[in-house]
Amino acid sequence: MPRAPEKTWGDRVSLSCEGLNNDGIGNTVVGGLTCGGTRARARLRLLLCMLCASLAAGAAEVTQRTSSQTGLPIWTVRAGGLSLELAPQLPDFIQAVFTSRGIPQEAANLIAADCVFGTIVRNASEGVISYTLADWRAVTSDGQAHPVKAKAAWVSRWRELGVTFRWLLLPDEQTFNVGDWSQAFTTVELPRDTGFDLHVSWSERGEQHRAIVEGLRCAPAKGPQ
Give me the tens of pLDDT residue by residue for the chain, a chain 225 residues long: 444 433 322 232 333 333 334 333 333 333 333 344 455 455 555 445 444 444 455 668 999 999 999 999 999 999 999 999 999 999 999 999 999 999 999 999 999 999 999 999 999 999 999 999 999 999 999 999 999 999 999 999 999 999 999 999 999 999 999 999 999 999 999 999 999 999 999 999 889 999 999 999 999 999 986
What is the pTM assigned to this prediction? Answer: 0.75
CA distance between the termini of the chain: 85
**Beta-carbon count within 10 A of 66 CB:** 11
Answer whether residue 2 is part of any domain.
Answer: no
DSSP 80: T
Answer whether residue 222 is part of any domain.
Answer: no
- Count structural domains, the chain: 2
Which residues are CB-neighbours of 171 under 8 A, at least 6 positions away? Answer: 133, 151, 182, 184
Answer whether residue 126 is part of any domain.
Answer: yes
User: What is the C-alpha to C-alpha distance for residues 122 and 82, in angstroms, rounded to an integer?
Assistant: 6
Answer whether residue 225 is part of any domain.
Answer: no
Q: Which domain holds residue 140?
A: 58-217
Kind and range of the H or E element at 164? Answer: none
How far, in whole angstroms, is CA 109 from its chain's centroid? 24
